[in-house]
Structure 1
Amino acid sequence: MVSDRNLVRNVIIICAILALMYFAWLIVDVLLMVFASILLSIVFHSLAVPFSRVTRMPLRYAVFPVAVLLVGAIGTVLYLFGSTLQAQVIELMQGLPTAWEGLKERLHLEGLGLDLIQRAESVAPSGITILSGFTSNVFEALVGAFLVLVGGIYFALEPTLYRDLLLKLWPENKREDISRVLHSITGDLLAFLKAQFIAMLVVGVLAYIGLSIIGVPSALALALFACLAEFVPLIGPIISAIPALLIALTLGLDTALWTLLVFIVVQQSESNVITPLLQERMVSLPPAVTLFAVVVFGSIFGVMGIILATPLTVLTFSAIRNHPR
């Protein structure tokens, strides 16, 4: 009888775990947004600490003005450079079809890839379908960004409250060890975000300088894209180089080769100079692990998985490394 009761209890536990896993899978997008909010709250909280020291404002109340100042600073930059960015993005979008036609002509003259291009054009979605999907995706992205921003502020206002709620999931005798693990994970994520921000900034500046020197149109827009794409390691830099190369092809093969050289130099500088200097203060992830993490998380979770692949991997490595013995 006792063994039957244990069997029934184990079956119920297994069913409950499977049900929770299924429920988590249904709300995986929400969970990813929560994780993004936590990352943003770490940024807000880290900036609120020096702000609180300077203004002598309580740390809890310093988060909101820091968030307002950060969002305001980003908005001011976009406002000041908005006209330039808008003009260059429009120029970029207008130049891409011309570059594509030029590429088709080059391939046609050389007898390479024409059939492949025609097949790609035949299966490509119509302009109306692209516009409809793009509008829907932009709206969803704006709503998601707003929720992440608000969630990040709430998490940063009372991090102790949410940490204590999370600790209640463990037995009381384990909570001290888990608290230390959470503290270590937070520190590793903060170090990763600082290093990533510096790397993105350097890549953007170097790309803008290089593209401006060789005279590639829309240099600022292309550099901004390279800066943002740097957040996704290995894959992002490759994707960011494609529009620049297509634009450069409109100016000639020599310009395209110089553009390719610029991106190679920028990425080599980031990989061999910047990243090694920053890795002393962050979790060092093997390149193979980073690459397959992007592939795995992207395959499972889509675009959000690709964007958050590296911080999710940092979280996993940090949790394993700091797990109580």
Structure 2
Amino acid sequence: MEPSGVRSLGTLIPFSMCPKASVTKTALIVIAVLASIALLVFFGELLMLLFAAILIAAVLDSGVALIKRFLPIHRLVALILTIVISIMLVGFALVAGGMTIIDQLDALSGVLGDAWRMLADQLNDWGVPVLRTFNAEDIWERLPEPQTMFGGAGAVLGTGFGMLSNLVIVSLVGIFLAADPSRYRDGLVLFVPVWFRPRLGAVLDRAGATLQRWLVGQLALMVIVGGATTVLLLVMGVNYALSLGIIAGLLNFIPFLGPILGFVPIGLAMIGQDMTTALIVLGGYTLIQQADANVLSPLIQDRVVNLAPALTIAFLLLMGIILGPIGVALATPLLAALRILVLELYVGDVLGDEAVKKA
């Protein structure tokens, strides 16, 4: 996934050298678009799980690249070291504070449920009808079900396996992809004409490198936001500060919508606190999110991919309606990868904008 080789590979076989190239290019793009829509409609959840495996492979590949920078060892050995180190870090976290976090999350769920019922009772007294019981699933129950819209084919794995089984399968697929990414890339390009394979391979390399850098940057932002939120809540003496900070950090993976969802449990936890504490927490959380949106994200992410906010929000809503929570969670990295493919293969090759290829 080295971006340095993308430009040279992309110019190996110019489309102008191929007979009837423009017609072939247009036909290929139309077929690809129609096939993508059909796959999303009928196998959306399965594809999202596969894309999640690609994200895991991208993270592992970053670790492999980091290890190989310091140790001249075989890729497979570097991958094994990356997995072992990751497991050790997770194990250390569980030993150091895992049970505390689990206990906090368990207690926090009850506290937030009670806080929501108190808030719902007050809103109902004011004439605002809301449910007294609240679950995350309640949001998605009000959206069209993928099974209803597309005949149930989108729930291929959801009906056959549990969440834990899906996680194990996705992780294993991600490990296999990270072990030999070029093998799977080369296998994919076999489905296009021979003259188009070098160009498609180069574009896939660039999309993979962009996705990898975006994902690593986003993980760094999640750690920063989660850590800063935890420190803020600890300083203010808020109960379950560690769990609330972890939730805020995880939800920060979802642009725009994530920070809002992250504040919901924090706001509910503020019920019963004094007004000064609540205002300081609200102001501090707002400052953390503003620093993330206006300072940290531009420094870390805009050099990798500059997604238009309106386009990102629209894509989030679309994926949420079609696929539910998994669509929202993976919408932004998917859009980042699709952006490269559209710019390179359509704007650059079909429309002939050479500036896009050189960007």
Please say whether Structure 1 and Structure 2 have the same fold, judged by a TM-score greater than 0.5: yes
Q: 1:86 to 1:60 in 2, by over 3 A?
A: closer
Would you say 1:76 and 2:92 are equivalent positions?
yes
Structure 2 contact 251–261 (Cα < 8 Å) conserved:
yes
Q: 1:260 to 1:19 in 2, by over 3 A?
A: closer
Given candidates 332, 352, 355, the residue that maps to 1:310 is 332
In the alignment, is the contact (CA less than 8 A) between 1:48 and 1:62 conserved in 2?
Answer: yes
**How far is the alpha carbon of 1:254 from its aligned partner?**
3.4
Q: Give 1:192 shift.
A: 0.6
| Aligned-pair CA distance for 1:36 | 1.1
Residues 98 and 250, structure 1, Cα contact 8 Å, conserved in 2: no
Equivalent residue, structure 1, for 2:296: 274
Range with bigger deviation, 222-231 or 239-248: 239-248
| 2:234 is the alignment partner of 1:220 | no
Q: Which has the higher helix share?
A: 1
**Counterpart check, 1:180 vs 2:194:** no
Supply the distance in 2 between the matched residues of 1:20 and 1:199 (Cα, whole angstroms): 31
Aligned CA distance change for structure 1 residues 58 and 245 (closer, same or farther; 3 Å): same
Q: CA RMSD in A?
A: 2.8
Matched, 1:164 2:178: no
Q: Is the 8 A contact 2:115 2:268 kept in 1?
A: yes
Amino acid at match of 1:310: T
Q: Using the alignment, how far apart are the partners of 1:173 and 1:61 within structure 2? A: 35
Q: Are the equivalent residues in 2 in contact too, given 1:167–1:178 (CA < 8 A)?
A: yes
Structure 1 distance, partners of 2:53, 2:300, is 24
The CA deviation at 1:206 is: 1.1
Q: Specify whether residues 263 and 20 from structure 1 end up closer, same or farther in structure 2 by C-alpha distance, changes over 3 A only.
A: closer
State the TM-score, normalizing by the size of structure 1.
Answer: 0.82
In structure 2, what is the equivalent of residue 9 of structure 1?
A: none
Partner of 1:141: 163
1:290/1:313 contact within 8 Å kept: yes
The superposition leaves residues 240-285 of structure 1 with CA deviations (integer Å, 9 ceiling, x where unpaired) of 1011111111223433332221221111010111011113431011
Indicate the residue corresponding to 1:112 in structure 2. Answer: 126
Q: Which runs of 5+ in 1 are unaligned?
A: 1-13, 125-135
Show CA shifts across 1:226-247 (max 9, x none).
Answer: 0000011111111110111111
TM-aligned CA distance change 1:158 to 1:81, over 3 Å: same
Report the equivalent of 2:48: 32
Considering Cα pairs closer than 8 Å and 6+ residues apart, tell me whether 1 or 2 has the greater RCO: 2
Contact 1:39–1:152 (8 Å) recurs in 2: yes
Unpaired runs of 5+ residues, structure 2, are 1-29, 136-157, 350-359
User: Quick one: distance in 2 between partners of 1:123 and 1:307?
Assistant: 20
Q: Deviations over 1:72-126 (max 9, x none)?
A: 3123212311122123223312322332344246547xx5146x14xx24999xx
Check the 8 A contact 1:201/1:227 in 2, yes or no: yes
Letter in 2 for 1:90: D
Identical columns (%): 29
CA distance in 2 between partners of 1:275 and 1:21 (Å): 31
Q: 1:278 to 1:21 in 2, by over 3 A?
A: closer
The alpha-carbon deviation at position 44 of structure 1 amounts to 0.9
- Classify 1:320/1:39 alpha carbon distance in 2 versus 1 (closer, same or farther; 3 Å): same
Residue 22 to residue 100, structure 1, CA distance change in 2 (3 Å): closer
Q: Does 1:201 align with 2:223?
A: yes
Which whole-Å CA distance do the structure 2 matches of 1:181 and 1:123 have between them? 45
State the SS of the aligned residue for 1:249. coil
Residues 206/19 of structure 1: CA separation in 2 closer, same or farther (3 Å cut): closer
Per-residue CA distance 1:14-44 (angstroms, 9 max, x = gap) = 99x9799656633222211111111111111
Aligned partner of 1:254: which letter? T
Moved more, 242-251 or 83-92: 83-92
Tell me if structure 1 keeps the 8 A contact 2:60–2:175: yes
Aligned counterparts of 2:303 and 2:174: Cα–Cα separation in 1: 24
Label 1:18 to 1:236 Cα distance change in 2 as closer, same or farther (>3 A).
closer
Q: How far apart are the structure 1 equivalents of 2:327 and 2:299?
A: 27
Residue 248 of structure 1 aligns to which amino acid in structure 2? M
Q: How many residues align?
A: 296
Contact 2:116 / 2:133 at 8 angstroms: preserved in 1? no
- Partners of 2:34 and 2:206 lie apart in 1 by 29
